[in-house]
Amino acid sequence: MKRNLQLLLVAVLASGISLFLYQQYLLPVTEVAQQTVSKSKVKIEDTLPQDTGVKFVKHFNSSDADFTQAAKKTVHAVVHVKNVSIGRAPRTIQEYLRGMRGGRAVQGAGSGVIITEDGYIVTNYHVIKDASEIEVTLNNNRNYKAKLIGAEPNSDIALLKIEAKDLEYLTFGDSNDTQIGEWVLAVGNPFNLTSTVTAGIISAKGRNLGAETAGLPSFIQTDAAINPGNSGGALVNINGELIGINTAITSQTGSYIGYGFAVPSNNARKIVEDLIEYGNVKHAVLGIQAATINPNMVEENELKISQGVYVAGVSDGAKEAGLKKDDLITNIDGLRVRKLEDLTSYVQTKRPNDVVSITFIRNGNEKTTEVKLTEFERLRIIKAGIEIGNASSEYLQYFKAKYGVKILGTLNDRINIPDDQFIITRIDDQKISSVKDAKRIIQNKAENEKTKITFKDRLGREESYYF
């Protein structure tokens, strides 16, 4: 009997100790794990104190991700855009001057996104470029003739308008708040298959695809399938908010191979608002010549940081704010700057006279200054089909020139001048040092009066043409 009583006491004591340990260690961790899983619905791995050796793992169930509401909201706001243009236009100055003209009508197609209930639609510029006629088809198969309100070729964004009311539309989300790994949907009309929805994640942000996309905002990269015909369509988050305009793919076949790119919504929104309010796009500049910090810079200059923007020269607002050559920019308005594209893409969302906060490092010390953005002047010379902007002294050196203006791009396919191969040095035999010089000359000419423009190439050779 005495032995049985001892065994009973040992059993009770052991149970008490087990209960105490469970309440003190196991139960709290289990509850925390369960609460975290229920809130985030993502994989969670939580390890107990070393002495227990217990590990809990909860896996994400893909069936928990519901895209139906975002898809339902988006498909009705994405439209099919068709254009008719004249094919095979001259590709060089010489062809244009020889009188080569376009021939047959060519129909192209893409997508667009309704952004107001009364019919404003945003799309890619390349979808409607040179269109003589634009037709929009809604998800309910209703057709409308669309009017081109304006465009920003350098950002590949265009704004259309149809005469309609009470349309379903998308609201802009904040593309700066998007995160790598976030679920997204791409909605458009690939291969003329209307109202197609694909899902994926944001694969990267701040993408620059090289020289062919120079001037474009840095892209959002996604693995949601984007194919020909998706251009101008919507990239939306799980809430159905517009966070990008699908624009490009990287592919050797011309079809999707896992990489799609979208213009961030903040850049597209600023362009659209400018076109509606001003009729043109207001361009702001920080006033620096800069480059992304690379490993060679870090090694040669013994830099203490490996990411950011190196300031090679200053002017305008940056100079007035106290920025100097050799400063290292790391932050703008609270956003981290890892490379030059981060900086330029953000500035493209601003307007002249806006003020931004710049954090930079000088001589190993972190500083902050407020910079007032200035206007980037540009001029469209309609007769010549080109757009020009001011050129820095460093840029002119490439052309062995002391004066001239930069060619920003061509306005249509009548003429094709590589913008990095020529500058304009004279108009009507008068030296041109700035956009203001060009405006003064052109504005004083009669409408039917020909304009003589002198081009200079990188070898320093000049040649003049009449337009």
How far is CA 151 from each of CA 128, 273, 275, 406, rounded to the nearest angstrom? 10, 11, 8, 20
Is the per-residue pLDDT at 34 higher than 70?
no
More confident residue, 319 or 12: 319
More confident residue, 460 or 24: 460
Is the per-residue pLDDT at 53 higher than 90?
no
Q: Which residue's entry shows tokens 């850049």?
A: 267
Which amino acid is it at 269? R
Whether 69-279 shares its CATH topology with 284-375 is answered no
Give alpha helix (H) positions in 186-294. Answer: 265-277
What average pLDDT does the structure give for the chain? Answer: 80
More confident residue, 229 or 252: 229
Residues 24-29 have a mean pLDDT of: 44
Q: What is the pLDDT of residues 102-122, one digit of tens each?
A: 554 657 789 999 999 999 999
Percent of the chain whose pLDDT exceeds 90: 44
Most confident range, picked from 45-49, 261-265, 287-291, 458-462: 261-265
Domain 69-279 in this protein, CATH class:
mainly beta
Q: What are phi and psi of 25, to 5 degrees?
A: -120, -55
Q: What is the pLDDT of residues 293-349, one digit of tens each?
A: 989 888 888 888 899 999 988 888 999 999 999 999 999 999 999 988 899 889 999
Q: How confident is the model at residue 229, as a pLDDT?
A: 85
How far is CA 274 from each of CA 74, 82, 279, rounded to the nearest angstrom? 24, 25, 7
Is the per-residue pLDDT at 15 higher than 80?
no
* Of 78, 74, 185, 87, nearest in space to 136 by CA: 78
Q: What is the pLDDT of residues 169-222, one digit of tens each?
A: 999 999 999 999 999 999 998 877 778 899 999 998 887 765 444 455 688 999
Percent of the chain whose pLDDT exceeds 70: 76
Q: What is the pLDDT of residues 144-169, one digit of tens each?
A: 999 999 998 878 899 999 999 999 99
Q: What are phi and psi of 54, to 5 degrees?
A: -100, 140
Q: Where do the domains of the chain lie?
A: 2-64, 69-279, 284-375, 378-466
- Residues involved in catalysis: 126, 156, 231
The whole-angstrom separation of Cα 327 and Cα 360 is: 6
How far is CA 351 from each of CA 271, 340, 356, 374, 417, rounded to the nearest angstrom? 10, 19, 11, 8, 28
**Which is the CATH superfamily of the domain at 284-375?**
PDZ domain (2.30.42.10)
For Cα atoms 386, 388, 391, give the angle at the middle one, nearest 5 degrees: 150
Q: How confident is the model at residue 42, as a pLDDT?
A: 36
Q: How confident is the model at residue 418, as a pLDDT?
A: 67
Q: Which of 3.30.465.10, 3.40.50.720, 2.30.42.10, 3.90.950.20 is the CATH number of 378-466? A: 2.30.42.10
Q: How confident is the model at residue 412, as a pLDDT?
A: 63
Residue 35's pLDDT band (boundaries 50, 70, 90)? very low
More confident residue, 394 or 134: 134
Q: What is the pLDDT of residues 403-455, one digit of tens each?
A: 999 888 776 655 667 667 889 999 999 999 988 899 899 888 887 889 999 99
